[in-house]
Amino acid sequence: MDMLSGRYQWVIKVCIVLCFAPFVSPVIGLLGGIILSLSGVRGVNTKLYTSWVLKASVVLIGFGTNLTMVLKASQSGFVITAVSVVSIMILGIILGKLVGLERKTTVLISAGTAICGGSAIAALSPVLKSEEYQSSFALIVVFVLNAVSLFIFPYLGWYFGMSQEVFGKWVAIAIHDTSSVVGAGAQYGDIALHTATTVKLIRALWIIPLSFVVTMFNGNRRGSVAGFPWFILLFVLAIVVSNMFPVYKESYNHLSWFGNRGMVLALFLIGNSINISDIRRSGIKPFLVGVVLWVLTSVVSFVALNS
């Protein structure tokens, strides 16, 4: 640890506390960590506990997932969600190979685009055993495109005269993060909001099977107990328990809140681990893959839903 980092460790501690403030979004957490890191202020041994914060946050978020809503929504949105998730993952991996992007960064960007943005990247990072800079750049790509989508998609929907139901399905497929999907749907109307939320909810649950697939193809084919993504099973268990015993709903809401704020903290820690050499190593390729994948997903899903 350099002298500058040692002198300003109090700044890191303050930022960790602020990650639990409601006005600090995941984007702010990530960018704040990156800015401090590039300024020479880094936390001590963040790699030792970033993975644990990520895993614990994913499990806690499970307590806020409504299983009944997921099952109801899956009756109408499962097929379109399954096709989009699988297609985006395959296309993303192909694009990554074409431009020579690192495999792990490619998988993270593809998963973030196909499933649920930053949440998918954060959940897959410990499973994939990715480096902090790989996770950071995948997150940056997803968050930038997320912000762009939130502003332009409603106007595109109005311009092309899309119905609320069709628009809801479109943004649920083409926009990465759940928060931006909900925001875009809310701008368009109540029906669009409901449709977008339910379809997006189904997409988010694809992180479960994808985690097991990644485990199998990431050097754990012999069934290593250490490599098995146990936290994903705990995530599923949290969903089941919270829906089997609804009498404790208030407590589940508190746990889910800690999970969401913990995710902000995890993103701050990931961003705070990045440095100039990592930026040079990553280059323009992550943005190239992310933008191309996003544009193709948006266009193809638009055409398919309006044909």
Q: Which residues contact 10 (CB under 8 A, 6 or more apart)?
A: none
Domain hosting 170: range is: 27-34+47-306
pLDDT, residue 75, reads 61
Tens of pLDDT, residue by residue over 17-29, are 999 998 888 778 8
Is a pLDDT exceeding 50 seen at residue 91? yes
**Any domain includes 265:** yes
Is a pLDDT exceeding 70 seen at residue 222? no
Whether residue 136 contacts residue 166, with contact meaning beta carbons closer than 8 Å, is answered with no
Provide the H-helix boundaries in 160-229: 164-174, 178-188, 190-204, 207-216
Whether residue 60 contacts residue 238, with contact meaning beta carbons closer than 8 Å, is answered with yes
Q: Please count the other Cβ atoms lying within 10 Å of the Cβ belonging to residue 28.
A: 17
Report the pLDDT averaged over residues 26-39.
Answer: 84
Collapse the DSSP code of 264 into the 3-class scheme (helix H, G, I; strand E, B; otherwise coil) and give the result. Answer: helix
Q: If you search the block for the tokens 């440095």, which residue do you land on?
A: 275
**Any domain includes 40:** no
Spell 92-120 as b/e; 16+ CB within 10 A means b. bbebbeeeebbebbbbbbbbbbbbbbbbb
Domain count, the chain: 1
pTM tops 0.75:
no
Give how far Cα 120 sits from Cα of 87, 195, 197, Å: 16, 21, 16
Is a pLDDT exceeding 60 seen at residue 154? yes
Tens of pLDDT, residue by residue over 172-218, are 888 887 767 877 887 898 888 778 877 777 777 788 788 888 777 76
